[in-house]
Amino acid sequence: MSAETILTNARIVLADSVLESGTVLVRDGHITEISEGSSQAAGAIDLKGDYLLPGLIELHTDNLEKHLAPRPGVRWPGVPALLAHDAQIAAAGITTVFDAVVLGNTIGQSTRLELLDLSVEAVDQARAAELTRADHLLHLRCEVADPIVLELFDKVSDHPLVKLVSLMDHTPGQRQFVDLAQYALYYQKKHNVSDSELQAMIVSTKANQEKYADLHRRTLAEACRERGIPTAAHDDATLAHVEESAELGITISEFPTTMEAAGAARERGMTTIMGAPNVVRGGSHSGNIAAHALAEEGLLDALSSDYVPISMLHAAFKLHGQHGLTLPDAIATVSRNPARMLKLDDRGEITAGKRADLVRVTQHQGLPLVRQVWREGDRIA
């Protein structure tokens, strides 16, 4: 860890303002001083007027899967796959990442069950050897309609890196897939499922949903409360969904699919997170509510890159440039707000005493581009 770093001549995005030309002093991995003007100290790093942002905090990404299973039937060694993912994460300005691992099945013999052990083992090994650039934590995505999801949860729930659990129901006709045509389009296109296989999936998953979903949702929510693990409800679509989540002590509404659900979540003290690709694309790929519409109504708290790591930074700047958020508020959706949602009190904003997780960003043809990244004062990208 570097003893001291001076970053100067930067447009510093603070919690509630932008310091148009300032300097940040980093010592022993923490921010120790923020001042106006440029430093003339020997060794000061001139950021040439670029933005200096807090390191981004990613709560939900499936990106590791792409490296562990780059093609159907192909499995890559865990640590090299994790480090390829990690490099991509760091290059996107993400300094804290919750690697999402799926517990449960929705599409027959899903590769995701095979990847659970591989993912956790890879993160453990890479962290133990201090090989990662970003700080890696675990997000358990639990498919409540799966018959064995409780067994899978018991297997990993006490792992010290598990800091977030989401409760999902991807059954056809439910939540994200109320529209069966969208369900068919998604699974047939992504997983090359035939018509007959699709119909069999619909029948079996609906039967499992009726038998297991409610019991598993309540059991998992109680287990998370007992362990003090923040819990998210995935794809809430109706007032009833949100009321159920609130009753179970769930504090995060992850990817609400309607304005009604997002508004109800806010009324009940829950925070919301939406996909950054949704913002960048201008709408949901599943035909659900556009994330920017929630932002414009003051109902969006945080963004996740979901399946495109570079989308977080792009989406935050787009919320500022096109959808009315101040730059500090837009950047908070990818830094301070996720930190608060997961009780990561030591990071998420440029403030004296916080970790020196920092990102230098320039703009090229109207798009934000990452130029340098520091985690706890050390350069990682």
Report the pLDDT averaged over residues 68-79.
Answer: 92
Q: Is the pLDDT of residue 179 over 70?
A: no
* Res. 321: pLDDT tops 70: yes
Total structural domains within the chain:
2
My answer on whether 146 and 287 are in the same domain is yes
Per-residue pLDDT tens digits for 85-111: 999 999 999 999 999 999 987 655 556
Tens of pLDDT, residues 112-153 = 677 999 999 999 999 999 999 999 999 999 999 999 999 999
- 128 and 34 in one domain? no
Shared-domain flag, residues 169 and 243: yes
Structure confidence at residue 195 (pLDDT): 66
If asked whether residues 342 and 362 sit together in one domain, one would say no
Give yes or no: residues 153 and 178 share one domain.
yes
Of all residues in the chain, the percent with pLDDT exceeding 90 is 82
Q: Give the whole-number percent of the chain exceeding pLDDT 70.
A: 88
Task: Please give the pLDDT value at position 285.
Answer: 73
Confidence band for 73, pLDDT divided at 50, 70 and 90: confident
Helix (H) and strand (E) counts for the chain?
A: 13, 16
- Are 21 and 135 within one domain? no
User: Which residues on neighbouring strands pair with residue 112, listed in sequence order?
Assistant: none
Q: Is the pLDDT of residue 316 over 70?
A: yes
Residue range of the domain that includes 325 = 56-346
Backbone angles phi, psi at 255, to 5 degrees: 60, 50
> What CATH number should be reported for the domain holding residue 373?
2.30.40.10
Give yes or no: residues 233 and 356 share one domain.
no
104 plus 170 within the same structural domain: yes
Predicted confidence at residue 183, as pLDDT, reads 60
State whether 174 and 316 are in the same domain: yes
User: Could you tell me if 74 and 162 lie in one domain?
Assistant: yes
User: How does pLDDT run across 214-262, given as a tens digit for each residue?
Assistant: 999 999 999 999 999 999 999 999 999 999 999 999 999 999 999 999 9
Of 57, 2, 19, 139, the C-alpha closest to 345 is 57
Which CATH number belongs to the domain containing residue 267 in this structure? 3.20.20.140
- Average pLDDT of the chain is 91
pLDDT digits (tens, 9 = 90+) for 206-216: 777 888 989 99
- Mark whether 375 and 235 lie in a shared domain: no
Task: Supply the DSSP string of 38-68, one letter for each residue.
Answer: ----TT-EE-TT-EEEEPEEEEEE-HHHHHH
Looking at the structure, do residues 169 and 143 belong to the same domain, yes or no? Answer: yes
In the chain, which residue ranges form alpha helices assigned H by DSSP? 63-68, 78-91, 111-128, 149-156, 180-191, 195-227, 239-247, 259-267, 276-281, 291-296, 311-323, 327-332, 336-341
d(CA 99, CA 166): 12
Other CB atoms closer than 10 Å to residue 100's CB: what's the count?
23
Q: Is the pLDDT of residue 320 over 90?
A: yes
Lowest mean pLDDT across 53-62, 193-202, 334-343:
193-202
How many other CB atoms are there within 10 angstroms of residue 28's CB atom? 12
Q: At what angle do helices 239-247 and 259-267 cross, to 10 degrees?
A: 30
Q: Please tell me the distance from the alpha carbon of residue 295 to that of residue 268, in angstroms, as a whole number.
A: 18
Q: Residue 1 pLDDT > 70, yes or no?
A: no
Segment 21-31 shows an average pLDDT of: 98
